[in-house]
Structure 1
Amino acid sequence: MSQTVSADHILETRGIQNSLDAFVVAAAFDRTGTAAAFALGDGTVRIARRGATDWPGVAVHDGAALALAPDAAPTGWVSGGDDAALKRIGADGGVSDIASFGMKWVEHVASFTDGKARLVGCGVGKHVHLFDGKDDRLKTLEHPSTVTGIAFDAKGKRVAASHYNGASVWFVASKTDNPRKLEWKGSHTGIAISPDGDAVVTAMQENALHGWRLSDGQHMRMSGYPSKTRAMSFTKNGKWLATSGAESIVLWPFFGGGPMGKPPTELAGGDGVLCTMLATHPAQEAVAAGFSDGLVVLADINSARILPVAGTGRGPVSAMAWSPDGTYLAFGTETGFAAIVDFSKK
């Protein structure tokens, strides 16, 4: 007799799961990959070490946590909240202040390190604030409107921010701080930079993406989404840009002259349920994705094979992150369900 494999088979055999009792805002592994953190809507951060079933909670923000990223240091994380605070969470659960911004929310955080230089950035109102590895403020970069997303390029030489009517790209070490302005009318709500640093892509309020090729100024328009794109992630080699916001994982080709004039590849779709979150694998051409019904899958881009990771029924997937070596996947949902799944060879 044939046996039906449960959609939760991978979760049940390779995962550790917990109910965190609050909206999972973001998930991130530290740079060693030995621990993951889940930032929650109640202002706490849960720290999950590899193999541990007990995930202790740390009180971080007086209000909701809004953003989370690995620290620029080997261990720990940085987080922003609606208490106007930029915080550091140590691997031991210790919490320290990096900066406070009066009454303005810290809605976006990002970090970079190449093993020597360390950078932490945060978006607060119209400004991006940059800090070095000693928490000294390097500079404050002003934008024409509220910053809606920030990203460092792969070398840490530039930082880009999305905002109304486009995006701005700044050289971190510049003494003059004059940005390259990327203009396109409308509300831009998030940003990504390709691994080679030549493409900047923003999500837009009008259910579309807009991009700029920096080498020649070419505009790139990617539309057709039924919903807003919340998550964008380039594959390791930069060939594909994976995006949420449709009833499938939408992958735009950034090779062979694409994405303009080329249709996107769509994976794991067809059931009328929106993809709400995703994360590309750090080493392989694969992407993990979560949907509004709680389904989590792992898709191989080249073969189009889909591996169910977790079944439906746990609320919309709201957070997702890979460990740096790609062996562990963390994800969380709006209902407070969270899990870490081990994909290492057994």
Structure 2
Amino acid sequence: MTHTIAPAATPQQPAKSAQSPLFDLLARSWTLEAAITDVALDRAGKAAGFALADGRMALMPLDDPESPLARMRVEADSGRSTIRPREKPVAQPILTPELATGAPLLAPSNMIGLVAAGRDGRIHRVTPRGQVISLCNKAEPIFALAADGLGRLAIARDGRTDLHDEDGMARQAGLLTPGPAHALAFAPDDRSLAVALKESLIIGQPRKGYELFPLGGSGPIGFSADGRWLVGSNGKDGIWLLQRQDGQIARIGKFRAPPTSVAFSRAADAVFASGAFRAAGWSLAAPPFGNEATGALKTGRSGLVLIDKVAAHPARDLIALGTADGAVAIAQAGRAEEMPLRQADGAAVTALAWSADGLHLAIGTANGEAALVTLPPQLFK
């Protein structure tokens, strides 16, 4: 992986920036009024929604009139790519009213835009242009949210998880649980629902039955793109990895911090997690069932600051890494070389996500800095 794009020559002195020249060329960035806790992109690829700690959401369109792709020029004699600086200020984000008491939980809507759910029980649909539509206003805490892309929402409340039609919010089915689920995820192959609890994991479908696994925790969970694997944080010092076909489980520990982010890379056939001084990764071609060193992929440089967030490119074997001090880099799975993208500013990266086409990387931090970075394919070899 190599960085081949340079700033275009300009007769004017560029404005001073706290960020790298590459970030300034490729990113649209904003300073918001509250810490960012999450980011989600809608299924149509129109907008990114950043969840704010004060209960609001900030919406930014992925489309950019001055995209780096439009500002790029390839020199005929050398083939060298350059990008001229942006000439106009970036458009301001759309800020919604308060959607929740505390940071809203986000999921892509099955219809349009994003769904935002509050711990206070409120649920809204927010369109890419910022229109807010109330879906539910029950005074009952919501602990987790997921959407299956086919019309259903899964909503975790204390002691049960319910499936609803998003259109009209009719309740389809319910699953009683010992306490609230802390994370929900739909399998992409058969739309089975995974319900992560403190002491166990439940996977299944209404009327078809559920399986119970001894895989507790308090962190995130996620399915691989083909639905064969499920990964989750144990909320303490590591992750677990479940192979659904035969129920084999790998438990991987000794992380420096509880993993708050997990990701599968389809291109690398691997799984990654935060919580270490470099991206912790393992090949799924040689899963670490017997020994956690089996299939280990040393990805990115080992530093002195913990990786807080990881995100896998949807098509390439690239992993975005966000650190506890605000730096963001991109590394190729299994290689130490990194492409520094965002410089550290002392505030942790709290949100990191690729767009479905892999062209944009959304970044959010604990001090309210949000960015959409457009990464031309020419950037990588």
Q: Is the 8 A contact 2:284 2:295 kept in 1?
A: no
Q: Is the 8 A contact 1:225 1:246 kept in 2?
A: yes
| Cα distance in structure 2, aligned partners of 1:344 and 1:34 | 18
Q: Is the 8 A contact 1:38 1:47 kept in 2?
A: yes
Counterpart check, 1:37 vs 2:49? yes
Q: 2:131 aligns with which of 80, 86, 94?
A: 94
| Cα distance in structure 1, aligned partners of 2:287 and 2:28 | 42
- Amino acid aligned to 2:172: L
Bigger mean CA deviation after superposition, 334-343 or 95-104: 95-104
Q: Is the 8 A contact 2:36 2:51 kept in 1?
A: yes
Shift of 1:87: 1.6
- Amino acid aligned to 2:182: T
| Cα distance in structure 1, aligned partners of 2:269 and 2:197 | 26
Q: Which residue of 1 aligns with 2:316?
A: 284
Question: In structure 1, the residue corresponding to 2:358 is in which secondary structure?
Answer: coil
Q: Which residue of 1 aligns with 2:201?
A: 167
Q: Which residue of 2 aligns with 1:26?
A: 38
| Cα distance in structure 2, aligned partners of 1:303 and 1:206 | 27
- Deviation by residue 1:219-272 (Cα, 9 ceiling, x = unmatched): 211112010000001112571111101111111211134454305223234221
| Cα distance in structure 2, aligned partners of 1:7 and 1:298 | 16
Q: Is the 8 A contact 2:301 2:337 kept in 1?
A: no
Q: Is the 8 A contact 2:100 2:117 kept in 1?
A: no
- Deviation by residue 1:121-147 (Cα, 9 ceiling, x = unmatched): 222223222222413222222222320
| Cα distance in structure 2, aligned partners of 1:257 and 1:314 | 35
Taking the TM superposition and a 5 Å limit, the aligned residue runs for 1:101-140 are: 101-104=138-141, 106-113=142-149, 117-134=150-167, 135-140=169-174
| Cα distance in structure 2, aligned partners of 1:311 and 1:259 | 37
More strand by share: 1
- Amino acid aligned to 2:285: F
Q: Which residue of 2 aligns with 1:180?
A: 211
Q: Which residue of 2 aligns with 1:71?
A: 109
| Cα distance in structure 1, aligned partners of 2:286 and 2:377 | 34
Q: Which residue of 1 aligns with 2:94?
A: 56
Q: Which residue of 1 aligns with 2:367?
A: 335
| Cα distance in structure 2, aligned partners of 1:152 and 1:296 | 28
Unpaired segments of 5 or more residues in structure 1?
A: none
Q: Is the 8 A contact 2:148 2:191 kept in 1?
A: no
Q: Is the 8 A contact 2:114 2:126 kept in 1?
A: yes
Counterpart check, 1:193 vs 2:246? no
- Amino acid aligned to 2:191: K
Q: Is the 8 A contact 1:78 1:89 kept in 2?
A: yes
Larger radius of gyration: 2
Q: Is the 8 A contact 1:9 1:309 kept in 2?
A: no
Q: Is the 8 A contact 2:362 2:372 kept in 1?
A: yes
| Cα distance in structure 1, aligned partners of 2:254 and 2:162 | 34
RMSD of aligned residue pairs (Cα, Å): 2.2
Cα 1:287–1:318 shift into 2, 3 Å: same
Unpaired segments of 5 or more residues in structure 2?
A: 1-5, 8-17, 65-89
Q: Is the 8 A contact 2:233 2:239 kept in 1?
A: yes
Identity percentage over the alignment?
Answer: 23
Q: Is the 8 A contact 1:119 1:131 kept in 2?
A: yes
| Cα distance in structure 2, aligned partners of 1:62 and 1:206 | 28
| Cα distance in structure 2, aligned partners of 1:32 and 1:304 | 34
| Cα distance in structure 2, aligned partners of 1:322 and 1:257 | 25
- Amino acid aligned to 1:210: W
- Deviation by residue 1:280-323 (Cα, 9 ceiling, x = unmatched): 11111111111011000111215543111100115100011111
| Cα distance in structure 2, aligned partners of 1:257 and 1:251 | 11
- Deviation by residue 1:167-212 (Cα, 9 ceiling, x = unmatched): 00021xx326x3100114x544332222232322221132111233
| Cα distance in structure 2, aligned partners of 1:81 and 1:273 | 32
Question: In structure 1, the residue corresponding to 2:22 is in which secondary structure?
Answer: helix
Question: In structure 2, the residue corresponding to 1:12 is in which secondary structure?
Answer: helix
Q: Is the 8 A contact 1:276 1:291 kept in 2?
A: yes
Q: Which residue of 2 aligns with 1:308?
A: 340
